Amino acid sequence: MLAGILVLNTTFASSAPAGAIAPISERFDLSEIVGTLMISLFVMGYMFGPILWGPVSLHRNYDRLTR
């Protein structure tokens, strides 16, 4: 149940701003390209985050376990 809620949360968090690109761009005086870049960087964070932080976390926790 918790896994399903977390998947729904991440899906919603990455797609919710997509419908608001125009109002966000208007409010902060940005171009729509910058709004699209905002969502693209957010999704790329989901892609590269586990690749970068997974091994670091594993290494740090493995060192703690072996002491």
The CA-based dihedral angle spanning residues 60, 7, 47, 21, taken in that order and rounded to the nearest 10 degrees = -130
Q: Which range, 9-13, 33-37, 63-67, has the best average confidence (pLDDT)? A: 33-37
Q: What does the domain layout of the chain look like in residue ranges?
A: 17-60
pLDDT attached to residue 13: 77
Q: 21, 36 in Cβ contact below 8 A? A: yes
The answer to whether 18 touches 39, Cβ cutoff 8 Å, is yes
pLDDT at residue 63 tops 70: no
State the Cα–Cα distance between residues 32 and 27, nearest whole angstrom.
12
**Per-residue pLDDT for 6 more than 80?**
no
Q: Are 39 and 14 in contact (CB under 8 A)?
A: yes
State yes or no: pLDDT of 57 exceeds 70. Answer: yes
More confident residue, 54 or 15: 54
